[in-house]
Chain A
Amino acid sequence: MKQLDVNGADLYPQLREVAAVLYKKALTDLPPDVRRSVDEAREREEGLAGRRLEVMVKTIRTSDDTGIIVCQDTGICVFFVRIGTGFPVNPAKLVTALREGIALASERHALRSSIVHPLTRENRQDNTGPGVPEVHLDFVDGGEELEILLVPKGSGSENMSFLRMLSPADGTAGVKGYVLDCVIEAGPRPCPPTIVGVGLGGTADQCAALAKKAILRPVGEPHPEPDIADLERQLLTAVNTTGIGPQGLGGATTSFAVHVEYAWTHISMNPVAVNIQCWRGERASATVGPEGAVSYGY
């Protein structure tokens, strides 16, 4: 899907195809910043930690060569969509098309269905269900494009998610200590080296969403505000002091990056959330221009 007929009646089947492409791509073709991070860590680490990173390097190459997905966990799909108000799409129909695209890719590529009812554990065998995929819609006033970013979030790392409603008296010190505690608590489980996403402020659910959003930022792109970028650097040095290392079996690289996103909050609140992304750092994006040209990225 390189070119969509944006004004045609059949826009939605085309968007379904785009979603299907994104699902397979995110699971197979790791983003360049993640590849670079793995390579750099391989250079840095010695001994068994280095051996484990070698396997990661080889895994990336094997997936490039064979089209086999990097990790067997097909994840729980989360879309982040930005719709320019100038782009002719009906958001409700778009959400349906995205869901259908996930089901389509699951069948087409025999992707394991990882999605179940929370109580009965019923599995529809197509990686969807009520509420899944999760779709975040944003609207860009005056925008002409449609941007779709997909994260098929792995469970091993998503299970290492944390939220604490700290008190304002705990201050920044409380926030920093909490992030460090979370990384130590997570240990080997999210398949380090990780990207640690930190959400600050907002309401409880907004804070958790900010932490998720933080893992989407490419490694090597610090927060634009110098104070926050400095906090990110400090936190990264701290988590890499723990020695948890690749796969939690020791080493200098526990995380590739710590990213912080924030919203303002209430005078009596100080929420902090942590969301962790595994070493494979899976994500894929597509941007559809006003004339329907599609460009894929990460």
Chain B
Amino acid sequence: MGTDAANGAGDGTATSEGGGRVLHATTPLDEAFVRSLRCGDEVWLDGTVWGVRDASLIRFFDEGKRVDADFGGAVFLHTAPSVRPDGSGGYLPVSVGTTTSMRMDRFTRGCLDELGVRAIVGKGGLSAESLEHLRRSGGVYLAVTGGAASVQTRQVAEIEDVLWEDLMPECLWRFRMRGFGPLFVGMDSHGVSEYQRVRDTAQERRAAARRVLGL
């Protein structure tokens, strides 16, 4: 059970260049750890991370299908990787990156409340409605650096399992990650969203930007 940060293994008090804390944790994550995370913190993960995407989430929640796996405290990553068969029925990672989360926004509640997921990893953030679900259920949204797939691929220690293979490449992937990061807390369980903050800033600065254009 894994909040290395809580027991100091990851040095929960280290400070990143950005001013937030740097935390290391092992999955699955417990609620107390997730609730301790704040926007601006930097997180590094070890252990199982599940790869999900449009098709697998549709199967979970629109078709109501389930698999034989425990998602309590799980980390879901929005991805559809490129893989290569390993010759013995499994797969080797070719490129494991991250996709835009907003397309999967409507599944946030289901992931948190029906499956017990604690962290959603993606890029671009989720809606205000999802922010409310994260607050209520004790979840967090972690932002990867989009497009940085070669670095992320090297952090995949192993593809442990693949379920719903017929959805290739949008199957349910079970990755074992080693030093997965840096992930940035983009939406926390205290109702704060970095994305909203940046959106608000952009709206405020729209007038200044228009002045640059002589408008």
Chain A interface (Cβ within 8 Å of chain B)?
A: 46-52, 55-56, 58-59, 62-63, 66, 68-74, 109-113, 154, 156, 159, 173, 176-177, 180, 184, 187-189, 191, 234-235, 237-239, 241-245, 247-250, 278-280
Contact = CB atoms under 8 A, between A and B. Distances in A.
B148 A156 contact: no
A68 B149 contact: yes
B195 interface: yes
Nearest to B125: A188
A99 B93 CA distance: 26
Interface of B: 16-20, 40, 42, 79-84, 94-100, 102, 123-125, 143, 145-151, 153-154, 169, 182, 184, 186, 194-195, 197-199, 201-203, 205-206, 208-210, 212-215
A239 B209 CA distance: 7
Q: Which 8 A-B pairs have the closest CB atoms?
A: A72-B97, A48-B18, A112-B82, A68-B150, A55-B145, A71-B147, A47-B18, A241-B209
Of A50, A51, A191, A248, most buried by chain B (CB within 10 Å of CB) is A248
Contacts, number: 182
A177 B194 CA distance: 25
Contacts of A62: 150-151, 154
Given A188-B123, A244-B198, A280 B210 contact: no
B198 A110 contact: no
A111 B146 CA distance: 18
A248 B124 contact: yes
B125 A248 contact: yes
A21 to B, nearest CB: 18
Nearest to B42: A51
A241 B195 CA distance: 16
B151 A48 contact: no
B213 A177 contact: yes
Contacts of A250: 194, 197-198, 201
